[in-house]
Structure 1
Amino acid sequence: MKQPHIVALGGTLRPTSGTAAALERALTHAKALGARTTLLTGPAIDFPNYEPEAAGGNPRIQSFLRALRDADGIIIGSPGYHGTLSGLVKNALDHVELLRRDDRVYFDGMPVGIVATAAGWQAAVATMTTLRTVAHALRGWPTPVGVAINTVEDGAIDKADGQLRLMVEQMIGFVAR
């Protein structure tokens, strides 16, 4: 079996993004399981608002699309803003529409791990639910384990480590099948 490629996308523009930290932790587990990894967060997904006719020429968007085309699994992570995903993550996911004419449309047939962070459980769980819906709309297969993280708790990412590891194990197992 070839080495699986897991791409994590999401986070915020803040250098201390809790979501980016959770995605990095998940990718650490993926590397330990033998995967190649790519992290797309902050400036790597800070695109102009999605406009179908204009999006194709942007080099950052093209780099994003190349990573997604090469992926065997995707992890989507978003902070919970007002009970749903952030505009930054939503806009990046809107650009996945540019994969509509590919042989593998969107995330078709790929495992999709979901990570949602928020300053409270309600927003984290609501965001996780929305991300699952988006993954389904993009033809992905959300893993049974999704990870909601309440970032106001001390050591929140460390507390979620076991769930992040299990989610990644499910992704790698799916790819191996």
Structure 2
Amino acid sequence: MQGFHIVALGGTLRPTSGTARALQTALDHAAAAGARTTLLTGEAIDFPNYDPAEAGTDPRVAHFIDTIRSADALLIGSPGYHGTLSGLVKNALDHIELTRGDARVYLDGMPVGLIAMAAGWQASVSTLQALRGIVHALRGWPTPIGVAINSTEGENAIATCAPQIAMMMDQIAGFLRR
């Protein structure tokens, strides 16, 4: 991944977010392979609800969009809230609409790795599926491997999924080399 910029977005507003820790694990893998990485979580993606008329005026949103524009690959992680992604993550993804007039519209042609973390397999898998559908709508290319993490497995839940996270990151690296 030498020379590529990998951006991760997601997590929660909690500083101890398990989803943010899982995204950081993926970014650490990318950094070890020579990538430049950026993690956008918590306050960095806590925007007012998407409003097409107002969204472009917020400097935090402008920074977010500039970061997305600079990405060669994206990671999206969300906790599973009631069987789907969080409002925080969905709202951040809605702001990608601001790229509709760009040469690369939305996430067109970009590899996207997905991580969903929830208290149980049903919620984590359904959240992963919801993320996959959104990435398709944004013209991104979700990796074949997505990572569902069952947080009820305790402190080792992320470590247990580390091989899947590494495989997902290797798929992103292979896509970028092509």
One-letter amino acid matched to 1:26: A
In 1, the alpha carbon distance for the partners of 2:150 and 2:2 equals 36
Please provide the CA RMSD for this pair: 1.0
Match of 1:51 in 2: 51
Match of 1:40 in 2: 40
Deviations 1:99-130 (Å, cap 9, x if unpaired)? 00000000000100000000100000000000
In 2, the alpha carbon distance for the partners of 1:166 and 1:2 equals 17
Match of 1:62 in 2: 62
In 1, the alpha carbon distance for the partners of 2:5 and 2:118 equals 27
Structure 2 unaligned residues grouped into runs of 5+ = none
CA-CA distance at 1:2 after TM superposition = 6.5
Identify the range of structure 1 (105-114 vs 2-11) with the bigger mean alpha-carbon deviation. Answer: 2-11
Give yes or no for contact 2:55–2:95 (8 Å, CA) kept in 1: yes
Match of 1:138 in 2: 138
- Runs (4+) off by over 6 Å: none
CA-CA distance at 1:34 after TM superposition = 1.1
In 2, the alpha carbon distance for the partners of 1:32 and 1:95 equals 30
In 1, the alpha carbon distance for the partners of 2:166 and 2:14 equals 24
Deviations 1:111-150 (Å, cap 9, x if unpaired)? 0000000010000000000000000000000000000000
How many percent identity over aligned positions? 66
In 2, the alpha carbon distance for the partners of 1:24 and 1:55 equals 27
Q: What are the residue-to-residue correspondences of 1:69-148 with 2, within 5 Å?
A: 69-148=69-148
Match of 1:173 in 2: 174
In 2, the alpha carbon distance for the partners of 1:57 and 1:173 equals 37
Give yes or no for contact 2:2–2:34 (8 Å, CA) kept in 1: no
CA-CA distance at 1:152 after TM superposition = 1.0
Match of 1:11 in 2: 11
In 2, the alpha carbon distance for the partners of 1:174 and 1:137 equals 19
Aligned residue pair count: 177
One-letter amino acid matched to 2:5: H
Deviations 1:45-98 (Å, cap 9, x if unpaired)? 000000001010111100100110000000000000000000000000000000
Match of 1:31 in 2: 31
In 1, the alpha carbon distance for the partners of 2:41 and 2:177 equals 26
One-letter amino acid matched to 1:35: A
